Amino acid sequence: MWRSKTRGRVRLAQTTNKCTEDDLAYYVQECGEILGVGASVQNREDPKAILQYIFSELVKYKKHNQE
């Protein structure tokens, strides 16, 4: 478990370092893949769908922890 978290962090850092503003769609897709949200998104190739899913999960998490 620890290694997979570390490996994910390393992959996120590597992706962040190699991408520019022109690579935003690719960046979002790669980060979604690294975070494992691809299976939960209807269209894995759509950066907007990936971001929508991530933000909705963040909102659920925040609401749950406020109670």
Domain extents in the chain = 2-66
Sequence-distant (≥ 6) Cβ neighbours of residue 50 within 8 angstroms = 28, 29, 31, 32, 37, 38, 41, 44
pTM given for the model? 0.78
pLDDT at 24: 94
DSSP 42: S
pLDDT at 3: 60
pLDDT at 38: 81
Tokens describing residue 59? 């909102």
